[in-house]
Amino acid sequence: MPPTASLDAGPAGDLPLAGEAKGKRTPAATTLNWQRESARAYGLGLAPALVVLAAITLLPLITLVVVSLTPLSLTDPAATFHFGQPTGNYAQLLQDQRFLDSLWVQAKLSSVGVLLQLLVGLGLALLLHGESRLLAGLRTFFLIPMVLPPIVVALVWKIIYTPDISPLHALLEQWGWPVRSLIANPDTALWAIVAADVWQWFPFTMLMVLAQLQMVPRDPVDAARIDGANRWQVFVYIVLPYLQRTLVVCALFRLIDSFKAFPLLYVLTNGGPGTVTEVTNFYGFIQAFNFSYWGYGSAIAVVMLAIIFVLSALVSRLGKNRGDAHAR
């Protein structure tokens, strides 16, 4: 006699297989397990890159901070591990008038240079935004300064600023406007370096803004023009808010790079005349390599690093707040 079907059987009368209820994984458990395995594989794949990154960034940074806590110099190698006065170099910086003056020179170079790079890059991006062979050729032409090595840019401007061989000075003399060397004049030396720095790096802003202009939606622009808005109003109230975050990123990158404007200073003025173009990193270079005060030079570098972190945070926060305000 055939066995009677159990009351717990399914509609077709099938009985559950032994262990099926216990061994079967739910979709949620399967998804969680897959996420864990994916994260583990991602971590293992990323580990070699993180090790290399730590070796080339964290180790030099730690070494820099450690050395800045010592009075290390080439004339006293035994001071490498002398930590009797760990804040001695930093206390001396607060009383070093030449260091304080270099901070002011750096502030002028960075603020004016970055601002002009943003304005020139933004203006040219707006002029060159369009689809034509002429505009494409001009965009390529304006990118040339950015791809040149910094030392080549410095040599080009050294020729421009040297009256005996400068085509600019020769042209001004023909027009009856003789001008003395701009990099030898204490009143114009710093601004001559700013001009060279702006010429080299405004293409960075121009390229970033051009890329962002490609993503500006056409509907708000067309609607504003239909409502009677002129070009300036369309730019200020529609286009500029879309470009704001891009401009903040450009300002952040160029602000950081402005603290590394070493080749221009070294080739054009060597920090002179006097100390009018001696920025903070150049002063640290002099202390470390001219006077062999490695501990003191390292302390200057650590202070510069801290200033860059603070300025980067402020610029990022400013851009985020303004972006949120426009979004509301």
Task: Express each pLDDT in 46-99 by its tens digit.
Answer: 889 888 988 888 888 999 999 999 988 888 777 667 788 889 999 999 999 999
Q: Is 76 helix (H, G, I), strand (E, B) or coil?
A: strand
**Selection from 49, 45, 46, 82 nearest residue 67 by Cα:** 82
pLDDT band at 319 (very low <50, low <70, confident <90, very high): low
**Selection from 94, 100, 69 nearest residue 82 by Cα:** 69
Least confident of 16-30, 114-128, 222-236: 16-30
- pLDDT at position 14: 47
- pLDDT at position 297: 94
Fold of domain 90-327? MetI-like fold (1.10.3720)
Q: Mean pLDDT, to the nearest integer, of 199-214?
A: 94
What is the rounded distance in angstroms from the CA atom of residue 269 to the CA atom of residue 243? 36
pLDDT digits (tens, 9 = 90+) for 10-39: 444 444 444 444 455 677 777 778 888 888
- pLDDT at position 4: 47
Q: Residue 105: is it exposed, middle or buried by C-beta count within 10 angstroms (0-12/13-18/19+)?
A: buried
Backbone angles phi, psi at 76, to 5 degrees: -140, 70
pLDDT band at 322 (very low <50, low <70, confident <90, very high): low
Backbone angles phi, psi at 96, to 5 degrees: -90, 105
Residue 108: both structure tokens together: 């002028």
**Selection from 282, 154, 134, 127 nearest residue 210 by Cα:** 127
pLDDT digits (tens, 9 = 90+) for 291-302: 999 999 999 999
Average model confidence (pLDDT) across the chain: 85
Nearest 5°: the CA angle 294, 300, 301 is: 85
Provide the sign of the torsion angle of the four alpha carbons 23, 29, 33, 34, taken in this order.
Answer: positive
What is the rounded distance in angstroms from the CA atom of residue 154 to the CA atom of residue 162? 12
What is the rounded distance in angstroms from the CA atom of residue 286 to the CA atom of residue 280? 10
- pLDDT at position 210: 93
User: Would you kindly state where each structural domain of the chain is located, as residue ranges?
Assistant: 90-327
pLDDT band at 326 (very low <50, low <70, confident <90, very high): low
Tokens 């890329």 label which residue?
211
- pLDDT at position 321: 63
CA 267 to chain centre: 23
- pLDDT at position 7: 44
Check pLDDT > 50 for residue 231.
yes
Q: Residue 302: is it exposed, middle or buried by C-beta count within 10 angstroms (0-12/13-18/19+)?
A: buried
Cβ count near 199 (within 10 Å): 18
What is the rounded distance in angstroms from the CA atom of residue 267 to the CA atom of residue 307? 25
pLDDT digits (tens, 9 = 90+) for 253-279: 999 899 888 889 999 999 989 999 999
pLDDT digits (tens, 9 = 90+) for 39-51: 888 888 888 988 8
pTM of the predicted model, to two decimals?
0.79
- The share of the chain scoring above pLDDT 90, in percent, equals 47
Q: How many separate helices (H) and strands (E) can be counted in the chain?
A: 16, 0
Check pLDDT > 90 for residue 138.
no
**Angle between helix 189-213 and helix 150-161 axes, rounded to 10 deg:** 130
Please tell me the total number of residues recorded for the chain in this structure.
Answer: 328
What is the rounded distance in angstroms from the CA atom of residue 286 to the CA atom of residue 145? 28
